[in-house]
Amino acid sequence: MNRQGSGFILWLTGMSGAGKSTLSRALRSRLEPLRPVEVMDGDEVRTWLTRGLGFSREDREENVRRIGHVARLLARHGVGVIVAAISPYQSSRAEVRQLAADAGLAFVEVYIEAPLEALIARDVKGLYKKALAGELPHFTGVSDPYEAPEAPEVTVRSSSEPLEAGLERVLAALQTRGLLAPRAA
């Protein structure tokens, strides 16, 4: 089925510092000349859409639900939505995926994987150092869980492969699903 004009949700999940924002910017750059694209970055969403939510499990799940709702609204109108959000719980991501499927929208999950040691080494904000010292409670991957996807459509190993390699695999996954014309990517 050719769905190139259809909107879709491309959900990038991974721990803080794994490379979700970096990959989402690269994807936007490649996709914008081809179709309407919107990026929903977790940090920006927390500033504008979900301000006031904390970091309890319930608040994190609500954060993902709200992101998913807006992503569906945009995708329903033909936008390729790139979500770059930690979204640490498998059940929340599964719920968003199911709601997209119920709405007839394509959902592609991309796991940005990097070992904790690599994340600590590249931690420009110093968040892991604070979390490991006990100064930052409820930090995903340290004092709160991160549940890696069980069967993502694409896995990008950001600590051991170039950005371009992961980018190409994500674009290929969109092509395979008929969401991008072959060679367009």
Annotated binding-site residue numbers for ATP: 14-21
CA of residue 100 relative to chain centroid, distance: 15
Comparing C-alpha atoms, which of 147, 20, 146, 28 is closest to residue 85?
Answer: 20
CA–CA gap between residue 113 and residue 69 (Å, rounded): 25
Catalytic residue among 24, 29, 56, 87: 87
Binding site feature residues:
14-21
- The answer to whether the CB of 110 falls within 8 A of the CB of 10 is yes
DSSP 41-53: EHHHHHHHTSTT-
91 is catalytic: no
Region label for 140, one of left (φ > 0), alpha (ψ between -120 and 50) or beta (otherwise): beta
- Tokens for 117, please give them: 């040691």
- Residues serving a catalytic function are 87
